[in-house]
Structure 1
Amino acid sequence: MKVVALTGGVGGAKLVLGLQQILPAPDLTAIVNTADDFRHLGLHVSPDIDTLLYTLSGKANREQGWGREGESWAFMEALRELGGEDWFQMGDMDLALHVLRTMRLAQGDTLSAITAEFARRWGVDVALLPMSDDPVATWLHTEEGKLEFQRYFVERRCEPDVSRIEFQGAARALPGPGVIEAIGRADVILIAPSNPYLSIDPILAVPGIRQALIDGTGPVVSVSPIIGGQAVKGPTSKLMAGLGVPVNNESIAAHYAGLIDALLVDSGDDLLASLPSMRTPTLMRTTEDRARVAEAALTLARGVAGK
């Protein structure tokens, strides 16, 4: 069974790790959001790609969900002493990815090729495909003005109210190498419980990707990021409320209307009236949780395909 997962960072990485436990690596592809990428201190940072790399290689900090386990912070301490911007944390080991990525991009290598090389070096056999090698940037229109994603998400901790989201460069971007082909041959497409507006929508905004999902023969199943009327993590609930969208699973189904065939919801939530759905505990605290949610999503996909 060929499975493709559309994913952002922390929450999506948990689902992909669960899939990695139950599927042969050659059968699994993750298409990763790159609209969070930005330049910081002259370095090209790819937060969602790095989270996938750290998680699937076993190097992730399990407690905080991002960054590397056993990280040190001498660089950040020295940066503060010199008055540098310290709102975005970059650990000493984390810097290696950013420095090498920036250097290779300057030499003409693509983000896809660089990501594949990092994955190979760390023994990650799952195909990690950036959604595009072209620059796409998420910008949020807020009460404080227009903010780049990382300024909103990290520096301002999602506090400003958001009225509109745009993905600069998306209309001109091309899907990354292998993205359309992976979707076309997939038996199942899963949309991870990443933020629909900030992590999945940028992927769908790249011309050709949404249509490839619609044209594909395999069922498309989303794992809801909502549990009991609240987002598991991040600004999803606040963002939905600010945009005037009820924070519930029906809203997630409506957001993906015409794209998904089914929605996996938490065991404590109601099944949907609008779309095929199934319940399972969707909070992924442990390795076993992640494998269970991944298996449940595939079971739902098989059921939809069987109908």
Structure 2
Amino acid sequence: MKITVIAGGVGGARFVRGVREHVRRSGQDHTIDVVVNTGDDWWLAGLRIWPDHDSILYTLAGQNDEQRGWGRRGESERVSEELRTWGVTPEWFTLGDLDLGTHIARTAWLRAGETPSDVAGRLGARWDLGVALHPATDDEIDTHIVTPDGERLHFQEWWTRHRAQLAVARFEQQGIESARPAPAALAAIAAADVILLAPSNPVVSIGPVLEIPGIRDALATASAPIVGVSPIIGGAAVRGMAEACLAVIGVSADAGAVARHYGARGRGGVLDGWLVGEEDAQAVPAIDAAAIAARAVPLWMKDADTSAALAADALAFAQALADLG
């Protein structure tokens, strides 16, 4: 079976790890491709930073800092302190020394003419990830926020410095209109037997991927069933500040509302199925009525066992939808 996951952020990283764990436990010859959000990427101190990609990379490599939820474990921050002293990096964004090594290597390869897809392959080859990571696009589509009075900030400043508390009129992905899907991302969607939307932030992690011209068309014509996993459990985001992002686009922090935001594939959206938490079982009939098949299952990824069980539920649901034709 060829499994393709569309993901970003910490929730996406943990879900992908659960999919890998389930595949390894099953002993079956499944492959896992991950189409990774690039909307969070940005330039800092002359270095190209890929927050979502690196969260997934480090999580799968066993190198992530589980307590902070980002960066490498066992980090030091001497270089970051020196960069702040020189005024090259802001105080509100810390880069660990090991993390900086990744950014320096990536930027060197990019400056040498390699594509982001090439670079992702080189970074992933260092560890036995058990999956292939593909940037959604090789073009830069950095996300900015626009305030009600017209001020523009990079998403990372709004998210990290302002903790998503600054009023936002809209999100913009710079240059997304002319961006193209990365060839490997399109190939992973086309070849998939199952496509899963991870429980990532619907607005700034999954949203930018879906807005790249050509991605929605690829999903619309994919032969694989598409099953999404809700990032909202019991009316609250599992991690991060997704509620603030959803509010900007007028979507409630509700599992059913997020499903309807993505929409049914048969009605121009992207979903065939949607998994909600057991806490949100009452939302299933309304989601079904929106032409999206829904099931309530345990969604909390507390450890390897619960994460693998969630992946198994998602894959079994997708198989059931495929069997229905």
Q: TM-score, normalised by structure 1?
A: 0.95
Q: How many residues align?
A: 307
Match of 2:41 among 20, 30, 37: 37
Query: Secondary structure of the residue that 1:244 maps to in structure 2?
Result: coil
Q: Any conservation in 1 of the 2:232–2:255 contact (CA below 8 Å)?
A: yes
Q: Which moved more, 1:260-269 or 1:155-164?
A: 155-164
1:103 aligns with 2:118: no
Cα displacement (A) at 1:64:
1.9
Letter in 1 for 2:173: F
Cα displacement (A) at 1:260:
0.2
The residue aligned with 2:256 is 250
Q: Distance in 1 between matches of 2:172 and 2:2?
A: 32
Cα displacement (A) at 1:2:
0.9
Letter in 2 for 1:180: L
1:273-300 CA deviation, whole Å, 9 max, x = no partner?
Answer: 2321111221212122211111111111
1:133 aligns with 2:138: yes
Cα displacement (A) at 1:161:
2.1
Match of 1:279 among 264, 280, 296: 296
Cα displacement (A) at 1:124:
2.1
Cα displacement (A) at 1:93:
0.5
5+ residue gaps in structure 1? none
The residue aligned with 1:212 is 218
Q: Distance in 2 between matches of 1:223 and 1:175?
A: 23
The residue aligned with 2:63 is 59
Q: Distance in 1 between matches of 2:109 and 2:147?
A: 34
1:170-227 CA deviation, whole Å, 9 max, x = no partner?
Answer: 1111111311111111111100111111011111111111111110111111100111
Match of 1:200 among 206, 214, 223: 206
Query: Secondary structure of the residue that 2:33 maps to in structure 1?
Result: strand
The sequence identity of aligned pairs, in percent, is: 41
Match of 2:91 among 64, 86, 102: 86
Q: Distance in 2 between matches of 1:135 and 1:82?
A: 27
Q: Distance in 2 between matches of 1:81 and 1:185?
A: 49
Match of 1:119 among 121, 124, 128: 124
The residue aligned with 2:279 is 268
Cα displacement (A) at 1:82:
3.7
1:20 aligns with 2:40: no
Q: Any conservation in 2 of the 1:34–1:49 contact (CA below 8 Å)?
A: yes
The residue aligned with 1:159 is 165
Q: Any conservation in 1 of the 2:7–2:35 contact (CA below 8 Å)?
A: yes
1:27-72 CA deviation, whole Å, 9 max, x = no partner?
Answer: 1000000111101111110111111110111111112221111111
- Runs (4+) of structure 1 exceeding 4 A deviation are none
Letter in 2 for 1:12: G
Q: Any conservation in 1 of the 2:4–2:195 contact (CA below 8 Å)?
A: yes
Cα displacement (A) at 1:20:
0.8
User: For residues 272 and 54 of structure 1, do their structure 2 counterparts lie closer, same or farther at Cα, with a shift above 3 Å needed?
Assistant: farther
Report the structure, 1 or 2, having the larger helix content: 2
Q: Any conservation in 2 of the 1:20–1:126 contact (CA below 8 Å)?
A: yes
1:75-100 CA deviation, whole Å, 9 max, x = no partner?
Answer: 12223444442211100100011111
Q: Distance in 1 between matches of 2:219 and 2:147?
A: 31
Q: Any conservation in 1 of the 2:9–2:201 contact (CA below 8 Å)?
A: no
User: For residues 59 and 272 of structure 1, do their structure 2 counterparts lie closer, same or farther at Cα, with a shift above 3 Å needed?
Assistant: farther
Q: Which moved more, 1:229-238 or 1:187-196?
A: 229-238
Q: Distance in 2 between matches of 1:243 and 1:121?
A: 39
Q: Any conservation in 1 of the 2:251–2:261 contact (CA below 8 Å)?
A: no
Q: Any conservation in 1 of the 2:20–2:130 contact (CA below 8 Å)?
A: no
5+ residue gaps in structure 2? 264-268
Query: Secondary structure of the residue that 1:93 maps to in structure 2?
Result: helix
Cα displacement (A) at 1:238:
2.1
The residue aligned with 2:266 is none
User: For residues 54 and 42 of structure 1, do their structure 2 counterparts lie closer, same or farther at Cα, with a shift above 3 Å needed?
Assistant: same
Q: Distance in 1 between matches of 2:94 and 2:204?
A: 20
**Pairwise mapping of residues 70-81 of structure 1 onto structure 2 (< 5 A)?**
70-81=74-85
Q: Distance in 2 between matches of 1:244 and 1:133?
A: 30
Q: Distance in 1 between matches of 2:2 and 2:30?
A: 8
Q: Any conservation in 2 of the 1:129–1:177 contact (CA below 8 Å)?
A: no
RMSD (Å), alpha carbons:
1.5
1:296 aligns with 2:296: no
